[in-house]
Amino acid sequence: MTTLPHHVPASPAARSEESQAHDNYVLATRVVHRAETLLAAAEGLPTVLTHIERAFAVALSVTAKSTWAEIRTARDHLDAAQDQLFLAGHLR
């Protein structure tokens, strides 16, 4: 009986890095989308705009090797912006 050659999978470390890079891209894209959504309601509120700008800056600086803590920083800025929009009555 002959044995067929089996595909040798990439090392777990390589797959992990690819997965992290993909996850970072998806998370950064979600941050940008949410920031764009909040931006529409933030007109005339400089503190809200500052949080949104910081979230954009963090999202645009994300790389394949970025940590989830960096993404969390962007989300924290968006949470603060959203809270201020609620307090100002711009969101329901």
The pTM for the full model equals 0.78
The ranges assigned to domains in the chain are 16-88
Is-contact 50 73, C-beta < 8 A?
no
DSSP 8-state assignment for residue 47: H
| pLDDT band per the 50, 70, 90 thresholds, residue 9 | low
Quick: pLDDT tens for 44-87.
Answer: 999 999 999 999 999 999 999 999 899 999 999 999 999 999 99
What's the average model confidence in pLDDT over 15-27?
Answer: 85
- Residues 6 or more apart whose CB falls under 8 angstroms from that of 55 comprise 31, 34, 35, 74, 75, 77, 78, 81
